Structure 1
Amino acid sequence: MALHGNYKEIIVESFRPASTGGKHGPVHVRPIPGQPFPPSLFVECADRLKREYPVGTRFKIRVKLTDKEGGGQYLYSYFGWPVEVLK
């Protein structure tokens, strides 16, 4: 369920976490430092960002803070939305 506010445009990057802690796949996406959301939040987004680009690539996407029942907070971006590849 969405927690608050509208979608925001932020810059995120793909990375390999030290531990996936039950998450799927070896590559994940997080906000870069200095954004409205901390880098500790994971981003649920289009899988192609993790598959088709090298780890460390940055993207500009729209996200919204949300959570899962019985779980923690994360950022969500609809997989069909346009993505700007920054590096």
Structure 2
Amino acid sequence: MAKKYKTNHQLIIGDKFEDIVLETFRDIGTTRPRVRPVENFDPNIRVEFPVHLREENPVGTRFKANVKVSQKTREGEPFGPPYLVADVNSIEQLT
């Protein structure tokens, strides 16, 4: 069962969270909009999110989605910081 929310505790790879509010924003030095959580997570954590939704909506657009904690690996070892992956089937645009 997925957890409803997560406070700023250690992120555990594979944890799932429901109904997380996300927003698009412009990160310094990037050309494409990025996505970050609005609450319950460190705002510096990034979210893997469909490109077309990021680019077709204005910066500041909010969405609600279920997310999963992930981390890239290199040669079987963790590489880079943990990040969230939005479940594309759960994404809802908020008005």
Classify the TM-score, shorter chain.
0.7 to 0.9
RMSD over equivalenced CA pairs, Å: 1.8
Q: TM-score, normalised by structure 1?
A: 0.77
Which whole-Å CA distance do the structure 1 matches of 2:43 and 2:17 have between them?
Answer: 17
Question: Is the Cα–Cα contact under 8 Å of residues 46 and 78 in structure 1 kept in the other structure?
Answer: no
Question: Is the Cα–Cα contact under 8 Å of residues 68 and 87 in structure 2 kept in the other structure?
Answer: no
More strand by share: 2
Counterpart of 2:41 in structure 1 is 37
Q: Is the radius of gyration larger for structure 1 or structure 2?
A: 2
Q: Which runs of 5+ in 1 are unaligned?
A: none
More helix by share: 2
The runs of at least 4 consecutive aligned structure 1 residues that moved more than 3 Å come to none
Q: TM-score, normalised by structure 2?
A: 0.71
Map residues 15-26 of structure 1 onto 2, 5 A cutoff: 15-20=25-30, 25-26=31-32
Q: Which runs of 5+ in 2 are unaligned?
A: 1-11, 74-78
Q: Which has the higher contact order (CA 8 A, sep 6+)?
A: 1
Query: Within the alignment, does 1:56 sit opposite 2:52 as a pair?
Result: no
The number of residues matched between the two structures is: 79
